[in-house]
Amino acid sequence: MRPVPGYRLWLGQVGHARDLHPVLSVGIAVLVDLAADEPPVFVTRDIVYCRFPLHNGSGNPG
């Protein structure tokens, strides 16, 4: 998990969201999950969780 300089945004992979202690310790309040090939993450009430599974492949238009 790493911060994006100049923004209140952190980027990470699904493994980071599976252990919420580091997520909560840096003050992250919202998780946006884009991984279509991973099961949803279970979070506590302290976190807003939004899931928008994206598929990356040749079947996508444009």
What's residue 60's pLDDT?
Answer: 66
Residues of the chain with pLDDT under 70: 60-62
Structural domain containing residue 32 = 2-54
Side chain identity, residue 31:
L
How many domains is the chain built from?
Answer: 1
**33 belongs to a structural domain:** yes
Domain membership flag for residue 60: no
Given this model, what pLDDT does residue 37 score?
86
Q: What is the model's pLDDT at position 23?
A: 87
CA distance 39 to 46: 20
User: Is residue 61 in some structural domain?
Assistant: no
List strand residue ranges (DSSP E) for the chain, in order. Answer: 2-3, 10-11, 30-35, 48-54
